[in-house]
Amino acid sequence: MTPVYVAEEVDLSMPPDIETVSAPHNADLLVLPDDTNTNATQAVEWLIDDRVLALLGENAETTWLSWARSDAFNDVFNTQGYSESEPPSSLVVGAKVGLTTTTSRYSWGSEPSTRDVLEALDDSLVAIEQRTPTG
């Protein structure tokens, strides 16, 4: 079970069978709004601590790319570059895998349902687990 922190600004109802926590430092998955006040340095610290970051909203990709292009990010991660998707993603899920980061990006034609978002988060966590070296 992955403890999840959902920022107050995010309009996402979590079902009772998903463990939610009230503070980011208690979570393994942090769901943040696309216009979060979180800066790149904080994002990097969370990633180093093996937390998964999810940005939700129409500017999710813009926020992720601003972090990925930052000095704080490039000082820590062996960034192989970054790309923009078309249409821009409204959910970006990022995690540390080894010395790099990996992202999963999702777009919907309209406002995604809670179920859409939860399924995308679950798919992302499974993909991250499969990419993470063991041992």
pLDDT per position as a tens digit, 24-45: 999 999 999 999 999 999 999 9
Burial of 103 (0-12, 13-18, 19+ CB in 10 A): buried
pLDDT 10s digits, 69-110: 999 998 998 766 666 666 778 999 999 988 888 899 999 988
pLDDT of residue 80: 63
Flag whether pLDDT at 3 surpasses 90.
yes
CA 77 to chain centre: 16
HEC profile of 98-132: CCEEEEEEECCCCCCCHHHHHHHHHHHHHHHHHHC
| Cα distances (angstroms) measured from residue 23 to each of 6, 28, 112 | 9, 11, 25
Q: What is the pLDDT of residue 110?
A: 84
∠ CA 133-123-47, rounded to 5°: 50
Question: Residue 111 has what pLDDT?
Answer: 87
How large a percentage of the chain has pLDDT more than 70? Answer: 91
Domain boundaries, the chain: 4-131
